[in-house]
Amino acid sequence: MVEEVVVIGSGPAGLTAAIYLARELLNPLVITGDFGGQPTLTEIIENYPGFPNGVAGAELVERMKKQAERFGARFLNDKVTKVDFSKTPFQIFVGNELIEAKSVIIATGSKPRLLGVEGESKFFGRGVSTCATCDAPLFANKIVAVVGGGDTAVQDALILTKFAKKVYLIHRRNELRASKVEQQKLFANQKIEVIWDSVVEKIIGDKKVEKIQVKNLKTNETKEIACDGLFLAIGEIPNSEIFTEIEKDEAGYIKTTEEVKTNIKGVFAAGDVVDRRYRQVITACASGAKAALEAISFLKESGAAGI
């Protein structure tokens, strides 16, 4: 059996694509990977429309899955290990199992670049965050720290000052990589204190983050800083390694035209594996919808059954 369309990935982009495809009676197969993607690591999402009191990330993606299943989407809880897009039908391998498809939507997302220090995984979602836009309101009148030195780190620090009473920006060098305009905003904000030439070595707490251990790379001096949250802004890694035939940029993000079309006709990409700028649940959903609509158009042009 050749699938009409296979969705690789089950974050907001993949699940939204599955909903649109299923409503066209295409019975899409979704190969989940790590189900739900990054939203499952977020305790509560307060900026997704329709949830005035916020919604747990895991609950949101589970609702999306049930909605897709209601219209006929099927889910394979496994990971894609290899693909061959050099011929049609496209070949997708899950271990030793071969799945063939007329069209494919890649929605494998990205993963945050982490510090790899003690306490990081323990407190992820309990003080450790990779999304200031998502989680800043949770830290009203609290003390937080941001790690990084680029535009994202500076912007995150500035966003956090709208809620937190104190923000530390910790950077391993003695100058920032952020644009001069962003730096001017940062240095003008009295809530922000920059800790230069330093790295976080350890995250400490009981049930949530309580303090961090910071080391100065020039003096080797270590100190502990009391804080309620630690935001990582040191980059993202797109989950695109297995797609060797797909054109990507220098950072590994999939290149697209008309927002979701890859260099291979019939293969589309959506969500954070494409988006290196916004990386929000709602923008991933929109991207997934666009990819599904393009896949539907492609299948119609190809004369697929039932389209």
> Contact, 273 vs 254, CB < 8 A?
yes
Please state, in angstroms and rounded to a whole number, the distance separating the CA atoms of residues 2 and 102.
7
Which strand (E) or helix (H) includes residue 133?
helix 132-135
Rounded CA-CA distance 72/199 in Å is 49
C-alpha 117/C-alpha 237 separation (Å) is 18
| CA 21, 83, 246, 304 torsion-angle sign | negative
Rounded distance between C-alpha atoms, residue 254 and residue 269, angstroms = 7
Residue 227 known to be catalytic: no
Catalytic residue (choose from 34, 78, 84, 134): 134
Q: Judge contact between 199 and 212, C-beta under 8 A.
A: no
Catalytic residue, chosen from 34, 78, 84, 135, is 135
Q: Which residue of the set 34, 78, 84, 131 is catalytic? A: 131
Token pair belonging to 200: 């976080």
Where does the chain show beta strands of DSSP type E? 2-8, 29-31, 74-76, 82-84, 90-94, 97-106, 110-112, 128-129, 143-147, 166-170, 192-195, 198-205, 209-216, 222-226, 229-232, 236-238, 267-269
Strands 209-216 and 198-205: antiparallel
Known catalytic membership, residue 285: no
- Is 135 part of the annotated catalytic residue set? yes
Which residues are known catalytic residues?
Answer: 131, 134-135
